Structure 1
Amino acid sequence: MMSNSTDIAQQKKELRRAIRERKREADRSVMMKESTQIFEEIEKLEAFKTAKVVLAYWSMNDEVFTHDFVMKWYKHKQIYLPLVVGNSLELREFSGMDCMRVGPSFGILEPQEGAIYDNRPIDFAIIPGVAFDIKGNRMGRGKAYYDKLLRTNSMLKIGVAYSFQMVKSVPTDEFDIPMDLVISAK
């Protein structure tokens, strides 16, 4: 008989595979349109309007597109972006495209220069994921980078998802950190 954690790991693996397939079939123009809708919703939130320090991310090709949002807001708010350092995320302040370099872990642009996060309170966090459910459960890529980061920082956690990333139920274990709100184009 399989243990519960083995069972959950298998469910997560199957869900990641299913979402990967949906991403492959997704229309890029629809994904861009949904990204715009998601960030229009974020900008309407009072918590975002009053936030001074924001955690965001520089999106990979298959994630909700953040580049325009980051570029629009970094001169008005302190925007921190993660970069992968070993088995965890380090946060650096985004100060424009000059601070971005291709990082070694995923071959994506990461803030290689700029102020390192100094543990000041983060008011608002925009978190990517592979899949989300309406209860706020999130499943990432399986490295637990965000779960480790979110466990040690109390902040308003907003998951962002394409409509095809919203599922009925995300399998979770005790290490998974739920979102306070998930915003999808649906």
Structure 2
Amino acid sequence: MAGTERPMAIVLMGAYLTQLLLFSTYSCWHNQREYAHASWPPVPQPLRRFAESDIIRTMGHTCGYAGGYGFYAPRVGSHFLTEFRLRTADGAHTVHHYPLLTTLEGRIRYRAFTDLFSNLLPTNQPTSASVALHRRISRAVARSLCERIAERAAVAHVACHIGVWYPAPLRGSGAEQPPYYLQLFKTHSRP
């Protein structure tokens, strides 16, 4: 039995490294095509089918290599959320939680960026001049995002809701606190 363990480990490691190499090739090719604005040739169909298969995607997310920056990047998460409601001239509505970002990397960076809205949290203390300035900047950024999205998507109106999600604590300290959402700010593009 001990003699078959080593060849089996070599085969499993070879299969893992092969699929990692193929997935990395696909990811690099796909990103270069996206960043070069389609001047690169399209990803070969067999490579695309392989990398987008359920088992490879699940394995990639489980192992961490298919998560963009994955769990190695600092401050990728944020409890602050944005919701953009786009309305076209004919009245159709769509909702986006990112400002029309298409890549996972862009979404991760945006989620870290949303920590900017932490200064909109209500406090029981008097507002200092620096906090008031930061709040005005946060509101201006949200308004600017609405204007840019409306222009980029060629829609009639964009409404933005900014809030924070308070998850339930992992360990209870006496009384259990349920998770809840607190809306902090609303703004919109010019009609």
TM-score bin (small chain): under 0.3
- TM-score for both structures, normalised by structure 1: 0.21
Structure scoring higher RCO (CA < 8 A, sep ≥ 6) equals 1
Question: Could you say which structure has the larger radius of gyration?
Answer: 2
Higher helix share: 2
Larger strand proportion, structure 1 or 2?
1
TM-score, normalisation: structure 2: 0.21
